[in-house]
């Protein structure tokens, strides 16, 4: 069994050294069980690790989705007037959630209370690593 096969069957990434140890045990048990049975047993013995890997994959997917939403919002607002107050910009609930996830707030403390599109786009660009 290869490292990639093991990781695909268990859903857990392991180091090279750890896989060598796992593979050694698998080879010792090879006469008794096939790859799928071995991986099921390993998953049972490492239930917390499998659960943590699943949670980590979900968090990573959510982070990617939020980054995509911010990138789409950034691109869809590029033709609008930069000093437009955010109250006049059409924004979806999911985009608001993505902004909140990135700790980008739509209000400011300098009198008007509402940020301009230019400021929000700048913060999104910083968050996405564009500048």
As a whole number of angstroms, the distance between CA 15 and CA 27 comes to 18
- The position carrying tokens 């069994």 is 1
pLDDT in tens, 39-84: 999 999 999 999 999 999 999 999 999 999 999 999 999 887 888 8
Q: pTM of the predicted model, to two decimals?
A: 0.73
Please report how the helices 16-29 and 35-45 are oriented relative to each other, as an axis angle in degrees rounded to 10.
120
């Amino acid at each position: 069994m290869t490292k990639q096969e093991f990781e695909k069957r268990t859903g857990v990434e392991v180091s090279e050294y750890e896989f060598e140890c796992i593979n050694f045990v698998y080879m010792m048990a090879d006469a008794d069980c096939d790859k799928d049975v071995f991986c099921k047993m390993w998953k049972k013995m490492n239930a917390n690790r499998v659960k943590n890997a699943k949670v980590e994959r979900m968090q990573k997917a959510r982070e990617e989705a939020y980054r995509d939403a911010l990138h789409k919002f950034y691109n869809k607002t590029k033709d609008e007037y930069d000093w437009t107050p955010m109250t006049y910009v059409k924004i979806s609930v999911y985009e608001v959630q993505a902004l909140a996830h990135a700790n980008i707030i739509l209000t400011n403390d300098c009198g008007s209370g509402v940020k301009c599109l230019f400021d929000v786009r700048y913060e999104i660009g910083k968050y996405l690593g564009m500048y």
